[in-house]
Chain A
Amino acid sequence: MAILECKALSKSYGLTKAVDSADIKIEAGRVVGLLGPNGSGKTTLIKLAAGLLSPTSGEVLIEGMAPGPETKAIVSYLSDRDYLPDWMNLNQLLDYFGDFYSDFNREKAIELSKRIGVVDNKPLKTLSKGTREKLQLVLVMSRDAKLFLLDEPIGGVDPATRDTIIDTIIKNYNPDAAVIISTHIITDIEKILDDVIFINEGKISLVESVDDIRAKHQKSVDAYFREVYKC
């Protein structure tokens, strides 16, 4: 059974179709890049899978189930927003994740937090924007989830931080899980992808393995993406 399946999935905001009849099937063990220009529908698609939005039509299934408490227990979601509550400190945040997610590995989270320089128990509001972003990723990757939904994990960070983030993803995801990474910055992330999905104006235009793209088009995914979406 596919870990994530979208059947004729659509989401509209008023007259604008953010996702338009998407049909996707993602198997466990794959690292998938959800690639598209800004405003192409990547974030909406990920939010639908995370259960943060309700579809206008069609359905999204996680291990055969519609999004709900059961799917949220097996999905680890990284938002493109800073969602850390200012009133918490690191210990409270770890308690929070540990209380609600049975697959949360507290020791791993502490170790990864140390690596990004969050060692003491200061309130989260005192952390810099970059550190907060990395801390969110640490929490998400400290779970032994079946599906990781990472929305723009390397968007808006400097190249050094980008490397740290990619390194954290590669070293910490469960190999039996599926990872979906949405981004429009492809060069740095290409090396870790198995498959790619191209999305533009809400429509899925391509679902293919990275190896097939390279073999068929004799190009890197980044070069092929630029060719497809050049203005």
Chain B
Amino acid sequence: MLGKLIKHEMRATGRIMATVLLSVLAVTVVANLFWKIQMPSLKVLVVLYDTVKYLLLAASIIGVIGVGLFSIVVMVKRFYNSFLSNEAYLSLTLPVSVHQHIWSKIIVSMIWFFLTGVVIFLAGIISVLLSGKGISLSEIYFKIIEVFTLAVQQLRAENVSGFMITLFFIESAIMVLLSGIGLCLQAYVSMAIGQTSGSRKILSSVLSYLGISMVSQIVVTVVITLWGVPMLPIDGLQVSTMQAVQSIHSFLLTIIGVDVLLLVLYYLVTTTMLKKRLNLQ
């Protein structure tokens, strides 16, 4: 049933998300190409040309910034529609568990977050390629590889093991993944709590979100201050690069641990509220 939920969730979000993502890429291409067009000689056309040029540039920048925000809005809207609006009478009478509902929403949101990231990256690449500075795609590719290789070589020169370097990349990837899931679950838990207040569910959801954000920030800050920061090398203390890297690993693992605990808590509260305190008045 999870696969079927994902299929229909993709259908529900696919058209709007695909349109927005492709539009951002299209506007980026058009805006960059427009900047390369020869400026017209007629004065009236120069004004028009400049207006269109800057409008396209603004649209391109707003598009790249806005598309990330838009994917979050779509994620929130889908949860709201499925569990808090009239559509809940359809989705919540399906023979599927609350866990399957939640996971389908998280998975589809993560797919769109990933594709949004890809589009933002591609928009950057397109801008560089069409900037008129003669930079080719292969040059960009080799530059990225070069930067990575150089960083790895420097760490190796300082006797940092390959395992430690790989671990650092894995930890970074896990943190990115947890951030995405956290974004979803924090919104879900807020709405799951907010729906219990009946007619004021949107206001209650917003207030819940603010309250949860504040509490979780305090928890993360306290944990990092008490356990995370002492793990980091102190200024002025003579430590080897290997020791510094090990300290950063411990620090990252502490943050990952706190993140996981918070996410498990958000998940348990969300599923419990939807199972035991569902309030479709």
Contacts and interface: CB of A to CB of B under 8 A. Distances in A.
Nearest to A86: B87
B15 interface: yes
Interface string B90-107: 101111110000000000
Contacts of B92: 51-52
A75 interface: yes
A53 B12 contact: no
Size category, B interface: 20 to 34
Contact of B8 (A73, A75, A84, A99): A99
Given A52-B92, A53-B279, A101-B95, A87 B15 contact: yes
Nearest to A151: B89
B133 interface: no
Size category, A interface: 20 to 34
A217 interface: no
Contacts of A68: 97
B93 A54 contact: no
Interface in B92-140: 92-97
A52 B276 contact: no
Contact of A96 (B1, B8, B281): B8
A99 B11 CA distance: 13
A203 interface: no
B148 to A, nearest CB: 42
Given A52-B89, A83-B89, A100-B1, A70 B278 contact: no
B280 interface: yes
B198 interface: yes
Interface of A: 13, 47, 50-54, 68-70, 72-73, 75, 77, 79, 81-85, 87, 92, 95-96, 99-101
